[in-house]
Chain A
Amino acid sequence: MRKLAHLLQTGEVSSTELVRRCLEQIKKTQPVINAFITVDEEGALAQAAQSDARRARGEALSPWDGIPLAIKDNISTQGLRTTCASRFLRNYTPLYDATVVERVKQAGLPILGKTNLDEFAMGSSTEYSSFGVTRNPHDVERVAGGSSGGSAAAVAAEQAPWSLGTDTGGSIRQPASFCGVVGLKPTYGRVSRYGVVALAPSLDQVGPMARTVEGAAVLFSLIAGTDSRDATSTGASPFQVPVWDPKVVQGLRVGVPEEFFSTGLQPEVEAAVRRSLQVLEEQGAVLQPISLATNQYAIDTYLTLVTAEASSCLARFDGVRYGERVAAEDSNTMFAKSRGAGFGPEVKRRIMLGTYVLSASHYEAYYEQAQRVRTLIKQDVARAFEEVDVIITPTTPSTAFRIGEKRSPLEMYLSDLYTATANLSGICALSLPCGYDSRGLPVGLQIMGNHFREELIFQVAHVVEESVERGAQREL
């Protein structure tokens, strides 16, 4: 990303050329990959022309002014259709920008378009989109992951240098892992959620996706920080891209939780992750076996809380103020018909489960119980971070699965097995590619850090990234 910025600064390349190159690549690969729901060719070129004019006047808004990006379609963009991959919002155009969109615009980043996702971010494969599945650029018979599958695939297919996604239980890290890109789920509250269509407000975070650790760090530095329009963002401190220093791993205590290396883990995934752990050890890190026993409850806890919060958040989609309406004689029937026609199967499933766990007679047994188990998970994670500086695990139990392979909802939910704990405990976590399996599919490595330790996990990721690249060169 520094290289691109340098080329722009010296005038060797213009923003218009960068945007044109991305648009050409999108035209060429979109029919197969389907990473985008909306491509804003006109808008992106206009923003690029403005960026070039600013540069010519010596008034660049940031070093990154003119580098285009793609944005997940559940993040509001003023004047640019935002569908959440739902029939319900297929013609909805927001009147305002999400705070993260405002911030990337203030840095001069042209917006290429809006990327595909599972409807309302509910899913792990982008198969639940009303706009068709996103295919994995490494193998188009396989999923790109989800829910930020479009944002991951766009970066992997070189349609965009970087993108924004959202992560509620793994929705940035899992597709990043499947598509071989870098993705960060920031500490809860470090990035504003204003203007992001909520799935589960106590878990959602917006984060960056890029081809390199540095790219992700730069984009994160542009979006992080307090926002008075999101009351949960107050603990947020600004983030500066660090000076990369491999010495940070000397004496670094790396926790390796045994529960994340157990049955169901694809052997090649384990091998690639262990290789990276060994590299860190060779460079002076201290590997410490730890236990995160409560991770066995993470998916069930996550599922209970996410369905409860989602069913409540989605109550706003009633066909009154925006979205699709199905006419009826009375209001209640109009609400029910509009929602029945507008929502897809996974959204309805979660509304039903969520309504059940929040209903008066089941609230205590299911919802409150899950909130208490969440406390145990938080305590478990806090205890671990008393002993270690970072925790390293595989991002997902397997590499990208085949389209249509996961038939039951529960099977699909299990692909978030290693990622949901970070959302439940609010810590930051990053996925980066650390190798390939025998089919040539990327393997993701997850680095978790305590609250607000993004700088540390970026530093460690940078060391892993360099070693993986050196390893790849050796293999050539």
Chain B
Amino acid sequence: MIKREEVIRMAELARLELSEEEIDLYWQDLNSFLVSGRKLQQVDVSGIEGTSHAMAVSSPLRSDRVGESLPQDAVLAAGPEVMDGYFKVPRIVEEQQ
């Protein structure tokens, strides 16, 4: 069993605001999910490398050529809040005293 505080911590890490009811719901889900996670832990994988890619491929490189880019004003037009050619966000750094 994981603790409720741990669920709250996960939501913080994921930058996900949850209601009290949602926290309880996902607390339950996480615990039942851990059962299947533990089932996997029974599998003997000694000496086995992990797979992060379905196919064995090398990292290909393409030639470094200047291509077309999306127009700045069109990209900015999709932003919820923009100002002077920038996406506007709330304050991130505190003002110095």
Q: Is B29 in contact with A343, judged by CB distance below 8 angstroms?
A: no
- Within the complex, the shortest CB–CB distance from B5 to chain A, in Å, comes to 13
B78 within 8 A of A: yes
Interface residue tally on A, bucketed by range: 35 or more
- Within the complex, the shortest CB–CB distance from B19 to chain A, in Å, comes to 8
- Which residue of B36, B78, B89 is within 8 Å of A300 (Cβ)? B36
Q: Is A352 in contact with B26, judged by CB distance below 8 angstroms?
A: yes
Return chain A residues, CB-CB under 8 Å to B78: 92-93, 95, 321-322
- Which residue of B22, B43, B57, B81 is within 8 Å of A373 (Cβ)? B43
- Which residue of A232, A303, A332, A409 is within 8 Å of B57 (Cβ)? A232
Q: Is A320 in contact with B87, judged by CB distance below 8 angstroms?
A: yes
Return chain A residues, CB-CB under 8 Å to B25: 345
Return chain A residues, CB-CB under 8 Å to B55: 187-189, 232, 235, 426, 451
Q: Is B37 in contact with A304, judged by CB distance below 8 angstroms?
A: yes
Q: Is B10 in contact with A340, judged by CB distance below 8 angstroms?
A: no
Q: Is B16 in contact with A351, judged by CB distance below 8 angstroms?
A: yes
Q: Is B18 in contact with A348, judged by CB distance below 8 angstroms?
A: yes
Q: Is A321 in contact with B79, judged by CB distance below 8 angstroms?
A: yes
Within 8 A of A (CB), among B1-51: 2, 7, 10-18, 22, 25-26, 29-30, 32-33, 36-37, 39-41, 43, 45, 48-51
Closest to B22 in A: A348
Q: Is B30 in contact with A356, judged by CB distance below 8 angstroms?
A: yes
Q: Is A301 in contact with B54, judged by CB distance below 8 angstroms?
A: no
Q: Is B10 in contact with A319, judged by CB distance below 8 angstroms?
A: no
Give how many A-B residue pairs fall within 8 Å (CB-CB).
169
A202 within 8 A of B: yes
Q: Is B36 in contact with A348, judged by CB distance below 8 angstroms?
A: no
Return chain A residues, CB-CB under 8 Å to B16: 336, 339-340, 343, 348, 351-352
A263 within 8 A of B: no
Return chain B residues, CB-CB under 8 Å to A410: 32, 36
Q: Is A323 in contact with B80, judged by CB distance below 8 angstroms?
A: yes
Q: Is A371 in contact with B51, judged by CB distance below 8 angstroms?
A: yes
Return chain A residues, CB-CB under 8 Å to B54: 188-189, 202-203, 378, 423-426
Q: Is A352 in contact with B11, judged by CB distance below 8 angstroms?
A: yes
A335-376: CB near B (< 8 Å → 1, else 0) gives: 111011101010011011101110100000110111111111
A53 within 8 A of B: no
Within 8 A of B (CB), among A212-233: 228, 231-232
Closest to A303 in B: B36
Return chain B residues, CB-CB under 8 Å to A327: 90
Closest to A307 in B: B33
Q: A302 CA to B30 CA in the complex, in Å?
A: 16
B66 within 8 A of A: no
Q: Is B33 in contact with A376, judged by CB distance below 8 angstroms?
A: no
A324 within 8 A of B: yes
Return chain B residues, CB-CB under 8 Å to A25: none
Q: A236 CA to B22 CA in the complex, in Å?
A: 43
B70 within 8 A of A: yes
A328 within 8 A of B: yes
Within 8 A of B (CB), among A52-106: 92-93, 95-96
Q: A352-B26, A426-B54 are in contact. Are A359 and B13 (CB under 8 A)?
A: yes
| Interface positions of A (Cβ within 8 A of B) | 92-93, 95-96, 187-189, 202-203, 228, 231-232, 234-235, 297, 299-301, 303-304, 311, 315, 318-325, 327-337, 339-341, 343, 345, 348-349, 351-353, 355-357, 359, 365-366, 368-376, 378, 408-410, 423-426, 451
| Interface positions of B (Cβ within 8 A of A) | 2, 7, 10-18, 22, 25-26, 29-30, 32-33, 36-37, 39-41, 43, 45, 48-55, 57, 59-60, 62, 70, 74-75, 78-81, 87, 89-92
Taking A349-B26, A351-B16, A365-B41 as known contacts, 7 extra A-B pairs with beta carbons closer than 8 A to each other, sorted by chain A number, are A203-B54, A228-B62, A321-B75, A323-B80, A348-B18, A375-B49, A409-B29
Pairs A–B under 8 Å by Cβ, sample size 5: A187-B55, A331-B90, A332-B15, A336-B12, A356-B10
